[in-house]
Structure 1
């Protein structure tokens, strides 16, 4: 049988930001879920300063796909080459290059190249992959340009925080409470509706309505990736409230000799242009940071306390 044909794509965007800033954004792949809408979660498996292996989860044509990639970083050339080690069907091979060119001190051009093959060069498979690569590349480059052009204010727009509670009970019971989100409308008062599908074990796609302190209802959509043996559930909201361009998080359950520490961690990128529309005339990014911290923290702590109560009830029943 003849070898599959190599299909090549190229996408580029001009960015009003220094080349070093743009390179830094693409070099730190663990933060891609903050910047790139299709990326759900990235785990760095290995890293020696120049070479790394990554496990990645992302949406493609409305489906959640996962693969492992190897990358070679060349900061002096501002190039990063990558190859998928374990591609997701129908992809047989996928490799490419990120290239950052300096146009002047404040402007750069970012190019993203892909070479891919599809098993048997099936036309339907080729069309599916080509559409996914084109859609994701355009979305990634457009969003990266927007983020990079705010580079001088990123520290102000990015908010990372966590809340924890101590639990006397088994880690498995606490993890099960967090994992079984289909039960949250009955267990978590601020959740009024939740639909979840889990076509692949450990990968949950969910839509949820939550009620805020002022009585308003917000609808969010998320993808969750569950690591039961590690006591972790990571997630990304794929439909966010108006104040956010990105929201990722993690639930972690860590046992020790005296009990369990349960932590809810949030990472948020604020949508500055919507601050006054949501919070009123004259509202600032600082106001948005306080509002988001309070709102997300209140719901997270409420859920953590309910998990604690659930674990305590389970212990008493034994």
Structure 2
């Protein structure tokens, strides 16, 4: 259970949240220090770009959901592994936050467990009470959600590496990267083109920040409503995404669409990172799944779940990539036909 301290009086506001975790302190600290996977463990973190890292200090660009808004900031983190402590400070932020800093600590608990605590110190522009109370609510909600997610992952009966599934699909394209990116960017056009996409509503809260609400057709014929936030980087040919309402057995799903020109042409890639729900591993494994011969051992429940999730996501991902390829290559063909000039008649 999280505990919250009262907001202090004066200009600087302080918050403290903590949770007991039935896992060793060293293992919990390793999760906190894993910047690359943090969007999987932190429900409010949409995406992180590491700008530099020397093994102890790192500078990050972080996109997060904050009180229904999407905001980004520059952040610095300093690790103190021997103390199991991580300091953080925001280097850039938007109103009403004027400054934000704090630290994560992991201490030994009873029975081989640990206690994780996150502290925040912040100020708001103009010292407005309403702004301070609003930021307290946002920081508190995000801290509680992150601590609870961290606890679930750390206490999992299976290893963290078994809970995380990372893979990619790619297609080589005989066409310009601009047309590929254009298709991936215009996701609102996907219904009617992709068989699994039944409905999609796309809004841009700011240029390059897309919020998706959509319905997808599942293999069993059911239709599921889902959502995602996408951050678009057209000059780099990248679109990163985070699902906002994943369904079991998926606990979190992040990824990236990227268009990469090389010496052989253009390759379009879909990368996926999935955090599985630990309770999925408790379901009985389907008989015969993944077996390769009479002597093959029966797969574990988690192996079956990983295989099914990999197949399901890979199938829809590859279908999208193939359609992007067709879009780019047909665009080139159409353009070439339009630019053909008939030969001049001889006199």
- TM bin, normalised by shorter chain, reads over 0.9
> Which structure: greater strand fraction?
1
The yes-or-no answer on 1:23 pairing with 2:41 is no
Q: Quick check: 1:17–1:151 contact (8 Å CA) kept in 2?
A: no
1:189 Cα deviation (Å)?
2.0
Q: Decide whether aligned partners of structure 1 residues 202 and 160 sit closer, same or farther in structure 2, where only a CA change above 3 A counts.
A: same
Of residues 304, 322, 327, the one that matches 1:310 is 327
> Which structure: greater helix fraction?
1
Of residues 41, 47, 64, the one that matches 1:41 is 47
Q: Quick check: 2:280–2:302 contact (8 Å CA) kept in 1?
A: no
Aligned pairs (5 A) from 1:166-245: 166-245=172-251
Alignment partners' CA distance in 1, 2:202 and 2:234? 18
The yes-or-no answer on 1:287 pairing with 2:304 is yes
Instruction: Structure 1: give runs of 5+ residues left out of the alignment.
Output: none
Alignment partners' CA distance in 2, 1:279 and 1:185? 34
Alignment partners' CA distance in 1, 2:141 and 2:75? 20
Alignment partners' CA distance in 2, 1:109 and 1:213? 42
Give the TM-score, by structure 2 length: 0.87
The yes-or-no answer on 1:82 pairing with 2:99 is no
1:257 Cα deviation (Å)?
3.0
Give the TM-score, by structure 1 length: 0.94
Runs of 4+ in 1 over 4 A off after TM superposition: 274-283
Q: What does residue 4 of structure 2 align with? A: none
Q: Quick check: 1:219–1:241 contact (8 Å CA) kept in 2?
A: no
Q: What does residue 20 of structure 2 align with? A: 14
Greater Cα offset, 95-104 or 238-247: 95-104
Instruction: Structure 2: give runs of 5+ residues left out of the alignment.
Output: 1-9, 288-298, 336-347
Q: What does residue 338 of structure 2 align with? A: none
Greater Cα offset, 102-111 or 305-314: 102-111
Q: Quick check: 2:252–2:276 contact (8 Å CA) kept in 1?
A: yes
Number of residue pairs aligned between Structure 1 and Structure 2: 315
Superposition RMSD in Å:
1.9
Q: Quick check: 1:243–1:278 contact (8 Å CA) kept in 2?
A: no
Alignment partners' CA distance in 1, 2:22 and 2:93? 34
Of residues 110, 121, 131, the one that matches 1:125 is 131
Q: Which has the bigger relative contact order, CA under 8 A and spacing at least 6?
A: 1
Greater Cα offset, 187-196 or 290-299: 187-196
SS in 1 for 2:189: helix
**Structure whose alpha-carbon radius of gyration is higher:** 2
Q: What does residue 271 of structure 1 align with? A: 277
1:105 Cα deviation (Å)?
7.2
The yes-or-no answer on 1:298 pairing with 2:332 is no
Alignment partners' CA distance in 2, 1:226 and 1:139? 26
Greater Cα offset, 281-290 or 75-84: 281-290
Q: Quick check: 2:21–2:154 contact (8 Å CA) kept in 1?
A: yes
1:275 Cα deviation (Å)?
6.0
